Every structure is written in C-alpha cells, then in structure tokens.
Structure 1
Amino acid sequence: MKLSIPDADTLWDGLPPARRHELRLRVGPEHLDEMNHVNNTVYLVWCEQVARAHAERLGLGTDALRALGAVPVARQHIITYHRPALLGDRVRVRTALTVHAGLRSVRAYTVDRVNGGDPPQRGLRLAECQTEWVWVDPDTGRPRRTPAAVIERFGFASQPQFPARL
C-alpha cells in the first residue's frame, strides 16, 4: 500500500533547503545486473545514500543522532520503477522530508536520468520511492519521539506536522 504522501517533485520547490537534498552520480558497471541495466536493489541503495548525505550535511549523521538518543530505522520502502538506467547514464537522486509526526518521518525520493537530450530540469523519471522511518532509542531499539534538535535542524516547525493520513 503506497503512503498517501506527495512525492518529492510536488514539494521540492516549496520546501526549505533543510528538508531536501540531491545527489548526482553516473551509472557504473558495479550497478548493473545480468540484464545490463541498473539492478532494482541499487535504486534503494541510492535512496539511502542521498538520505545519509542529507543528514550528514545538516550535522545529523549516525554518531550525532546516537548522541541525541534517537536514530531512524526503516519501517517500509515503496519503490515504483518506470524505466531502467543503463551504463554511463547520469542520474539525479532527490530526497525530500515530507512528513514528521512524533515517532515517524517520511521521505520521498525521485530518481531521474539527466543525460544530454533528456527534458531539461526534470530529466527522465526512472523511479520514485517513499520510506517511512521510525525513530528508536539506539541502545534499546524501542520507539522514541524524535528529539527537538532533529526536528528543528531538518526544517520542521517546532510542532510536529501531521499529515491528513499516514
């Protein structure tokens, strides 16, 4: 079941920079499967890479989060694949933190090919992903409310933002 949260494109321009991040990469041989296109699991790896880079950019890498007493763990990933990426393709991976509600956060991701000749600015959509993250105590693994410092640094208002339906 897909979470009823807007995708990263819908929100991208309207979100503060603290709530979004982008990586660019080139498809290498290590990303390919026996069909000579990017393996479906690589898209998830890219989504996790952009999420980690986003957190690290804001000073919220794993060590910093552990020190604050809460780390996010994935509860659910939903990926929709549209077309394959091939060797040498230039790829843009974007993430946007779309929702924060107490124990949970949702990230939306888009993966676009941005080769010369692809539609300018948008690129050619390869995949979309959403991940629901649950915040837990790093020592006990038990659910824990997100620390206020994390909420603020990721650009959310001081009060959690509740979606119409999560």
Structure 2
Amino acid sequence: MGWDRATPFIIDLQVGAEDIDGLGHANNAVYVTWLERCAWRHSQRLGLDLVEYRRLDRAMAVVRHEIDYLAAAYEEDELQLATWIVDWDQRLKMTRHFQLKRPSDNTTLLRAQTTFVCIELSSGKPKRMPVEFIEGYGPALQMLDTTNI
C-alpha cells in the first residue's frame, strides 16, 4: 500500500458517526485517540501491556504530539493507521511515527510524530527505562528513513 517505512504495525479503523464534527468530517481530536490506540496496541503486541507496566512501575507517557492533517476522513471511511518506533535513547525518550491511509484511494490523511518519556507510575516522575522496555521496544526500532515522505 505504499507506507512511508518498511514493516509497519497497522490497525484497521472505521470512521463512525460519533467521530464526525460540525464540518462533516472526522474531528481532529478523534485522530489523537486513534494515535493512542495504535501505539498502545503495538506496545501490547511487543509484550508491554498495562499489567506489565504496573508490575514494573513504569509507563511510556506522551509529552509531545506533532500532527500534519493532510486530508479529511468521512463517516464510514475504512482506514488503516500504521506506526513505527523511529528513535529512542534507551533511557527516557522514545519517538513513534504514524501514517493514516484510506486504502480505497490510497490517500495519506495524516502523518504524525509522538514523543514519549518513561515515567514511574507510582510517582509520575521521569525514570530510566527498565531492561524489559529495552528488550521489548528495541527490536521494533526502525532507523528513520524519510526518502519516501
């Protein structure tokens, strides 16, 4: 389907009536919810679910979203949202890229980047990633390649 990078993690989405705003297209806030859903499902696939986060007293928390809205999504659109882990310091920060596409016309609707910081759940303060995060997220890291963007 022409993703920006190789081997994306992909979720399928359908735009529902509840996602539509007064302008007749998916509301911008809905896109943020989709980004969170995609990142969370990818983390779960990597073995880092809420149970593991609680056991480790650590989590990856969003500190920054950068979103480029490129085209509108409409009610009943079938969409695919892809994510890649593209950068991390193996201590505190991790960056994901996202691409949202409408397969029916192969249109990219959105590109986004989210920066996460590892926090200690019990205090909410930044804390070094545990080895389980390095082992879980590490294999999913992809070198940033912007040649197709």
**TM-score with structure 1 setting the length:** 0.78
Residue 141 (structure 1) aligned with residue 124 (structure 2):
yes
User: Could you tell me which residue of structure 1 aligns to residue 83 of structure 2?
Assistant: 95
What whole-Å deviation, never above 9, does each CA across 1:46-95 have from its counterpart, x for those lacking one? 00000111111222112211212310111100110011001111111011
Whole-angstrom distance in 1 between the partners of 2:59 and 2:137: 14
Where 1:143 maps in the other structure, the secondary structure is coil
User: Could you tell me which residue of structure 2 aligns to residue 72 of structure 1?
Assistant: 60
User: Could you tell me which residue of structure 2 aligns to residue 33 of structure 1?
Assistant: 21
**TM-score with structure 2 setting the length:** 0.86
User: Could you tell me which residue of structure 2 aligns to residue 5 of structure 1?
Assistant: none
Where 2:138 maps in the other structure, the secondary structure is coil
Whole-angstrom distance in 2 between the partners of 1:156 and 1:69: 22
Does the Cα contact within 8 Å between 1:69 and 1:147 map onto a contact in 2? no
Whole-angstrom distance in 1 between the partners of 2:36 and 2:137: 16
Does the Cα contact within 8 Å between 2:86 and 2:143 map onto a contact in 1? no
Whole-angstrom distance in 2 between the partners of 1:52 and 1:30: 22
- Pick one of 138, 146, 151 that aligns with 2:134: 151
Q: Which amino acid aligns with 2:101?
A: D
Question: CA RMSD for the aligned pairs?
Answer: 2.2
Q: Please report how far the alpha carbon of residue 45 of structure 1 lies from its aligned counterpart in structure 2 after TM superposition.
A: 0.5
Where 2:110 maps in the other structure, the secondary structure is strand
Where 1:23 maps in the other structure, the secondary structure is strand
What whole-Å deviation, never above 9, does each CA across 1:22-60 have from its counterpart, x for those lacking one? 101111101100111000111110000001111112221
Identical aligned pairs, as a percentage?
30
User: Could you tell me which residue of structure 1 aligns to residue 102 of structure 2?
Assistant: 113
* Residue correspondences, number: 141
Between stretches 133-142 and 147-156, larger displacement belongs to 147-156
- Pick one of 43, 52, 59 that aligns with 2:47: 59
Whole-angstrom distance in 2 between the partners of 1:80 and 1:161: 21
> Which segments of 5 or more consecutive residues in structure 1 lack a partner in the other structure?
1-8
Whole-angstrom distance in 1 between the partners of 2:93 and 2:138: 15
Where 2:111 maps in the other structure, the secondary structure is strand
User: Could you tell me which residue of structure 1 aligns to residue 37 of structure 2?
Assistant: 49
Does the Cα contact within 8 Å between 1:96 and 1:107 map onto a contact in 2? yes
